[in-house]
Amino acid sequence: MGKLIALGISLLLVVGTAINTAVGHDTDGFSAGDIAKKAMSSTAMKNVKAICALTDFEDACIKTLTPVANNKSATPEDYLKAAFEATNGEVEAALEKSGVIGKDAQGSIDKMAVEDCKELLQFAIDDLQSAISMAGDPEKNKAADVTAEFKNWLSAVVSYQESCIDGFEHPELKNSMQNGLLNATQLTSNALTIIGQMSSILKALNINFDFNIKSRRRLLDAQGYPTWFAPTDRKLLALQDNGRVAPNAVVAKDGSGHYKTIAEALAAYPKKKGSQKNDSSTSRYVIYVKAGTYDEYITITKDQTNILMYGDGPTSTIITGHKSNREGISTFQTASFSVIGDGFICRSMGFHNTAGPEGHQAVALRVQSDRAAFFNCRMDGYQDTLYVQAHRQFYKNCAISGTIDFIFGDSSTVIQNSLIIVRRPLDNQQNTVTAQGKKFKDESTGLVLQNCKIVPEQRLVAERLKIPSYLGRPWKEYAVTVIMESTIGDVIRPEGWMPWAGDFALDTLFYAEYNNRGPGANTDHRVKWKGFKVITKKDEALRYTVGPFIQGDEWLKDTGSPFTLGLRY
């Protein structure tokens, strides 16, 4: 069985092996098309054709697979590593091009977008390196749901590519960057498709094997904590609840702690802890931030993994900032608090952006940390409050407020038992709670709100029926948002959802509602888009719960809240 799994994985990645090496080029005196034509009668090329038929870029796929298919000595591991290495090469090439494109940048937004691209594409390279490492380590393949891991990394690569492109204001510069990333996006798309269609591929190749690796990782345990938390982590959280946790660093503005700023506490983070990516066995670095308002811009860097940070409550311990797009700052850089390092846990803290509705895009909290979890936190802003940018994220018992697209991004995120507060926007504006950004259909991303309450803030109550408010709008072609088992107030319009522009994405998105309640939950007058659905079957709703959606095999256990493991009803 293990060999068949390895074979299946190697076949999925054959698709993307060399998009950057063969399109439109000659190989040993023959064009890629000539080589493909001569070899098509072979078994290898028939298999290649069957695989490529499933991709969105079939011609490029067939042309580029020929050199790999004709290498009879290649092992499954070689195919696997080669695929990600080729993707990595394309992203590195795009990274170099961003510097050339940057020479033509004039405005502050575009200049900042160039720098953002350099950072974002490096994040993409980091994730691809993680994929390469897993591909070359059979023991890792046995120990994890490799399909989920690869899709998680590749989906994040797409998110970073799109964030890079979206950052440009000038159309010509945006087009130049988009063209510079074309090969990389095609390669990533093809690889995602093959991963998602593995069962069909094996059937087409007459391999009788059910490629369905069940996740071996329970995401949440009987106490309601994600199971990637090491036993010491659960102990730390339990101690924290009782006020007995012994942090590595204490931050206090009044000088009663080790440091007066959060930045100082992070600077003391032991360097060695960043050496083990996704290693939950690495002990936590615990930071306790005492009550106070901390006006400082904080980034948990990629090397600062496995941090547990907690405060004295979401309205007592507050990190605040005021950067906004109106000031000429890219959305990516407006965040008051940014989390990059994997395995970040946060509890009992507040994150604000005080730019106001006049600031337009102004992020309070940006998260791209894989396996990030927030408990009893608050995120306050207006437009683009919470940027769930990439990877797998979990929020519980939080409060999130805003106006336009105030929960947005392209991650796999579940928000449970939380208060979603719709604020009063500027005159002649509308409110949209979500703007999910899934670019390709085979990404594993989406946004799920479960057992949440969607209500207006006090300032909006009197005008809630006049100012239009919606559950969301599609930022990208395949946006996925599911609202289930939630209370929806009458602040939400009867049609429920808002178009982005014309009929963009209305057929390709997936917006769904399941078993909601409240005056705004009636679906009789919801939009009639092809991509909208009212889920009626429990089995279908279960796909978007914490376990299946972010690689757990079980639901939240009873933690003292009304929830039990699984769906509420």
β-sheet bridge partners, residue 481: 447, 511
Q: Kindly indicate the confidence band of residue 565, based on its pLDDT and cuts at 50, 70 and 90.
A: very low
pLDDT in tens, 65-85: 666 666 666 555 665 666 788
Instruction: Decide if 40-205 and 236-271+280-402 have a common fold.
Output: no
Give the mean model confidence (pLDDT) for residues 342-357.
94
* CA-to-CA separations, 352 to 92, 257, 314, 349, 394, in angstroms, rounded: 35, 23, 10, 10, 19
Q: Are strands 453-456 and 419-422 parallel, antiparallel or unpaired?
A: parallel
pLDDT in tens, 173-212: 899 999 999 999 998 998 888 777 765 665 555 554 444 3
d(CA 378, CA 334): 17
Both tokens of 32, joined, read 């890629």
Predicted pLDDT at 358: 95
Predicted pLDDT at 271: 82
Give the least confident one: 215-229, 424-438, 535-549.
Answer: 215-229
254, containing H or E segment: none
Percent of the chain with pLDDT over 90: 56
pLDDT in tens, 87-136: 889 999 999 988 788 777 777 888 899 999 999 999 999 999 998 888 77
Is the Cβ–Cβ distance between 347 and 383 less than 8 Å? no
Fold of 40-205: Butyryl-CoA Dehydrogenase, subunit A; domain 3 (1.20.140)
Q: Kindly indicate the confidence band of residue 314, based on its pLDDT and cuts at 50, 70 and 90.
A: very high
Whether the per-residue pLDDT at 306 is higher than 80: the answer is: yes
Per-residue DSSP letters for 16-81?
Answer: TTTHHHHTT-EETTEEHHHHHHHHTTSHHHHHHHHHHTTSSSHHHHHHHHHHHHT-TT--HHHHHH
Predicted pLDDT at 147: 82
d(CA 279, CA 341): 12
User: Among all residues, which ones are annotated catalytic?
Assistant: 405
d(CA 394, CA 411): 10
Q: Kindly indicate the confidence band of residue 234, based on its pLDDT and cuts at 50, 70 and 90.
A: low
Comparison of pLDDT for 245 and 2, the residue scoring more: 245
Whose structure tokens read 């993680």? 130
Predicted pLDDT at 6: 45
Highest CATH level, class, for 236-271+280-402:
mainly beta
Whether the per-residue pLDDT at 273 is higher than 70: the answer is: no
Predicted pLDDT at 144: 55
pLDDT in tens, 325-345: 999 999 999 999 999 999 888
What is the number of residues in the chain? 569
Predicted pLDDT at 569: 73
pLDDT in tens, 463-475: 999 999 999 999 9
Predicted pLDDT at 14: 45
Per-residue DSSP letters for 163-219?
Answer: HHHHT--SHHHHHHHHHHTHHHHHHHHHHHHHHHTHHHHHHHTT------------S
pLDDT in tens, 363-381: 999 999 998 889 899 999 9
Comparison of pLDDT for 437 and 11, the residue scoring more: 437
Q: Domain map of the chain by residue range?
A: 40-205, 236-271+280-402
